[in-house]
Amino acid sequence: MNALTILSSLLGKKRKTVSIGFCGRVNAGKTTLANRIAMDLAGKKVGKVSSIPHETRETNKVEHIQLQFNGKNLDMTLVDLPGITTKIDYRKFMENHGLTKEESIQRAKEATRGVVEAIKMLDQIDIALVIVDSTKPPFDQIDLVIVGNLEAKGIPIIICANKIDLDEANPQLVEETFNSIHFVVPISALTGENIESLYKNIIIST
Amino acid sequence: MSKLDLISKDAAQKLDLETKFTMIIDRVKKGTILVLEGGLSPEEQTGLINRVMMQIEFEEPSFAGVELISFFNDPSHSSFWRRSKRQLSFTVVAPSSTVKILRNDNEILSLLLKDSYPPT
């Protein structure tokens, strides 16, 4: 508990906590971005990162991450959701990543449960960071389904055009696609490039 | 050999949501590609994804999920915002084992049919 929290408690004033959801397709960089923010602001990690799809198969939360920006302070709970997909074939883990059949089936079973959990959690977040892999075309049906659901629930959305550190990234296309209504922030979760712009947009969205 | 069923808007509207999901999944699990006139809303699509996840199989031959693609009435409205405002024209649901999406950019949907999936 930091000094500000203690002072607020003593004064009987409870500060509002805002849950920030990291949503998107599988391997878009959700956990990498959640880790980047948690490390940057609190020196801790949210979850494990891997090149094997569906590394995050359960929701990970880190509470009381303090964001101070432009004189404002925000108490955040970072909610890292499993990736959402329409298909999970356990054989891909064997063919592409060298997992055994048992490991692959186990991972696939946990991943299916993770997708169900991620969809359920879309109801329980205050601000959604939709992580889009800007090295791929942004017209994926999953992005559309996620954004459409969040819009229907009235949840503020920030589109994070991730992976701008890669040569093939095209964050301009992501901006052209989404920019008419939602904040779009080109970002590299890996290097932290443009993270300040994301903080600014989170503060504006609250 | 693959089969394609076009479900009219009228026929789809007569079904309650659960019956609609059951109808879609039953057909797709048999290897059928479904085209739903009028399309599925984003909320309906998450409901369908939920049920698909619960149906995924881990024994041979396995059902590994679906490809889900929605098309919109006015291709000139290419922005995501306009796309999400439900100018839905149709939704395609296909078994992921038989179909590979070659192109989907709101002008052309191009699917490659594979023969690896053994329809029952």
Question: What is the per-residue pLDDT for A177?
Answer: 82
State the pLDDT at residue A55: 83
Total residue count of chain A as it appears in this document: 206
d(CA B89, CA A197): 37
Residues in B closer than 8 angstroms to A87, CB to CB, are: 52, 64-67, 96
Domains of chain B: 3-113 (3.30.110.150)
- Nearest by CB to A89, from B64, B83, B84: name it: B64
Render pLDDT for B79-112 as a digit per residue (tens, 0 to 9): 555 455 546 688 999 999 888 888 877 678 888 8
Which is nearest to B46 in space by CA: A54, A81, A76, A29? A81
Q: B37-86: per-residue pLDDT in tens?
A: 999 988 999 999 999 999 998 877 689 999 998 876 654 444 555 455 54
Distance CA B120, CA B118 (A): 6
Q: What's the pLDDT score for residue B120?
A: 41
Whole-complex ipTM: 0.84
Query: Within an 8 Å CB–CB cutoff, is residue B76 touching chain A?
Result: no
CA–CA distance, B113 with A67 (Å, rounded to integer): 49
Q: What pLDDT was estimated at residue B88?
A: 66
Closest Cα in chain B to A147? B84
Average pLDDT per block of 10 residues along chain A, 206 residues long: 52 71 95 96 90 87 93 94 95 92 93 95 96 86 89 94 96 84 93 96 92
Q: What is the pLDDT of residue B75?
A: 42
Query: CB A52: neighbour CB atoms within 10 A?
Result: 15
pLDDT, average across residues B4-21 = 94
Nearest to B24 by CA among B49, B61, B60, B59: B49
CB contact under 8 A, A178 and B79: yes
Residue B91 contacts A, CB cutoff 8 Å: no
Supply the pLDDT for residue A50. Answer: 83
Closest CA to B94 of B73, B60, B63, B59: B63
Closest CA to A173 of A133, A130, A127: A133
Q: Do A178 and B81 touch (CB under 8 A)?
A: yes
Tokens 């590979």 sit on residue: B100
Cα gap B71→A5, rounded to integer Å: 50
In 3D space, the residue among B46, B2, B56, B3 whose CA is nearest the CA of residue B25 turns out to be B56
pLDDT for B118: 47
Mutation target for B interface from A141, A151, A159, A183: give the one with most B CBs within 10 A. Answer: A141
A8-65 tens-digit pLDDT? 545 544 557 999 999 999 999 999 999 999 999 999 999 888 888 888 888 999 999 9
Q: Which pLDDT does position A176 carry in this prediction?
A: 86
pLDDT above 60 (res B119): no
Cβ–Cβ gap A148/B97 under 8 Å: no
DSSP element (H, E) containing A102: helix A101-121
Mutate to test the interface with A, among B25, B52, B53 (most CBs of A within 10 A): B53
* Residue A78, min C-alpha distance to chain B (Å): 23
CB A47 within 8 A of CB A78: no
Closest CA of chain A from B10, distance in Å: 23
Choose among A18, A2, A17, A78: nearest CA to A45.
A78
